[in-house]
Amino acid sequence: MPRSTRVRTVAFALTAFSTLTALVAFAAATAPATATTGPSKGNAAAAKAIFTSKCIVCHKADGSGGVKLTGNPTPNWKDPKTWADPKRTDDYLRDCITNGKTPSGMVAWGKTGQIKPPDIENLIAYIHTLKPAKAPAKAAAAAPAKTTTK
Ligand code: HEC
């Protein structure tokens, strides 16, 4: 390889490497905004005001939902069956509040900057307080006959 080619190759490799390093640094710097996963450690009481002003229009004050706009209706958080769904984790709720469900009319509250991440955590905790008192498993066991309503 002629000397000039080798110099160019090395220069190219260095440019590629520093670009990669910059990308990794950028990814690391932007990561914390979306890093929260797992059960919410939010404060339910702190979210009541936001829930009342921004959410009850579609989710109802008691969380029973059933409001249909353009796609899926709002879920019924008063129904144990809703919570029996293994998909309905805090990660799922967090994703919905952050990124919305635009086809159904659920606003991307986090992505649009209307609600800040700590308030999203508080809202998740608040939604949990709307759950029916009985644990879903117990409610199912106590039911005399299985009635499947889909
Ligand atoms: C304009 C109506 C509307 C408003 C206002 C609204 N939502 Fe929703 N939301 C929806 C709809 C519709 C769905 C169902 C989306 C789907 O499943 O496709 C939904 C789904 C959700 C879900 C997923 C829940 C689940 O159990 O499946 C969460 C969490 C949620 N909303 C939280 C909130 C919070 C918190 C607020 C207030 C900051 C809010 N929503 C305001 C319409 C709304």
Question: Helices 90-99 and 117-129, interaxial angle, to 10°?
Answer: 130
Q: Is residue 124 in contact with ligand 1, taking CB distance under 6 Å? A: no
This prediction's pTM: 0.75
Tell me: pLDDT of 139 over 70: no
- Give the pLDDT band of residue 6 (cuts 50, 70, 90): confident
Contact 42, 124 (CB under 8 A): yes
Q: Is residue 122 in contact with ligand 1, taking CB distance under 6 Å? A: no
Contact 86, 80 (CB under 8 A): no
Q: What is the pLDDT of residue 112?
A: 97
Q: What is the pLDDT of residue 18?
A: 64
CA of 29 to the centre of ligand 1 (A): 29
